[in-house]
Amino acid sequence: MRRRGPGPTGRALQVSAHAIIKRSSSSRSPLALRMDAFCRNPNRTVPAAEGGPRRADVPLCSRTNGWSWPPHPFQLLAWLLYVYFAITSFGVFVPLLPAHWIPAGYICTGVMFLSHLCVHVTAVSIDPADYNVRTRSHRGPVPIFDRSKHPHVIENCHCYLCQVDVGPKSKHCSSCNKCVANFDHHCRWLNNCVGSRNYKLFLHSVLSALLGVGLVLVVASYVFVEFFLDPARLRTSQHFLARNDSSVWFVFLPMAPLRSAAAAIPGLAAVTIALALLSSVLLSHLLCFHVYLMWNRLSTYEYIIRQRH
């Protein structure tokens, strides 16, 4: 559906990313800036050593996928949020739903979380490199780019760093230190490049995360509101009936009931609602941005280049 004949800028797309970075961010659209909240610096496609010492954040060898060293803080944050939403949803909020809603709560939330886990892990695990990079015989330290010898890392579809011919839309990512097939952007949340090999998985990952977070938001909001309006509707579990004390609440029902203070329930719901709202706004913006890109048959990289010309 998306991509993408050679852009009007042709070879200019292989312009040094170092020059791109130096451009003022003030010329960028608000949407692009919002998108950067998810995938910062998506167009830094060339190691910018320029003949000087190797930059500390450019890996000596090319990274294989999102599990390769070094991890990125955003990647860890994404997994922490996933674990937090899973624990609070399955452990606290769904068991507090009215009894006839609980099976649907477990099934819908379970399907969303499991499908997101599958596509997220697959998008991270795929090596998005250009075919010739993946199948090259020599694997070792990637040379430092010497700008005095070549103006661009990739010229005439040959990458001087990967030392192989690459596709016309491949770009050399400085974070991964390799050429990525149909480069879109380097996503720090996946800690992996997004190219033609994992673009659909990336989109599914965003969509399933948005649906999952939306479901968490609905369930947590229901618990928060009912706690103040009609707490009896949250207390249908056998454990509440056994303890006829309205100040006693339980989490991790029904398997491992743990007594908790009453204030902990709305407090946890409020934190979860805030996190889910923030996540869903950012995910919605990212999804809308990529729908816009697909509609216009652009990659993120091409979009940013166009914004700057």
Name the residues that contact Zn ion, by CB under 5 A: 159, 161-162, 172-173, 175-176, 179, 186, 193
Determine which one of 39, 176, 179, 187 is catalytic: 187
Q: 4: buried, middle or exposed (CB in 10 Å: 19+, 13-18, 0-12)?
A: middle
Residue 129 DSSP symbol = B
269 in helix, strand or coil? helix
Nearest approach in angstroms of CB 9 to Zn ion is 19
Residue 169 DSSP symbol = T
Region of residue 29 (phi > 0: left; psi between -120 and 50: alpha; otherwise: beta): beta
Nearest approach in angstroms of CB 26 to Zn ion is 25
In the bound state with Zn ion, the residue whose beta carbon lies nearer, of 198 and 280, is 198
Nearest approach in angstroms of CB 122 to Zn ion is 17
Nearest approach in angstroms of CB 78 to Zn ion is 16
Rg (CA), the chain: 24
User: For residues 186 and 184, what is the distance between their CA atoms, to the nearest angstrom?
Assistant: 7
In the bound state with Zn ion, the residue whose beta carbon lies nearer, of 179 and 181, is 179
**Closest by CA position to 60, among listed 49, 75, 50:** 49
Nearest approach in angstroms of CB 166 to Zn ion is 6
In the bound state with Zn ion, the residue whose beta carbon lies nearer, of 166 and 220, is 166
User: For residues 297 and 224, what is the distance between their CA atoms, to the nearest angstrom?
Assistant: 43
Q: Give exposure, 25-35, as e/b (b: 16+ Cβ within 10 Å).
A: eeeeeeebebb
Nearest approach in angstroms of CB 217 to Zn ion is 31
- CA angle centred on 10, ends 7 and 16, rounded to 5°: 110
Element (H, E) at 45: none
Is 157 noted as a catalytic residue in this protein? no
Backbone angles phi, psi at 250, to 5 degrees: -130, 145
Element (H, E) at 5: none
In the bound state with Zn ion, the residue whose beta carbon lies nearer, of 3 and 239, is 3
**Closest by CA position to 206, among listed 128, 282, 101:** 282
Residues ≥6 apart with Cβ < 8 Å to 226: 233, 234
Backbone angles phi, psi at 178, to 5 degrees: -160, 165
Instruction: Kindly list the catalytic residues.
Output: 187
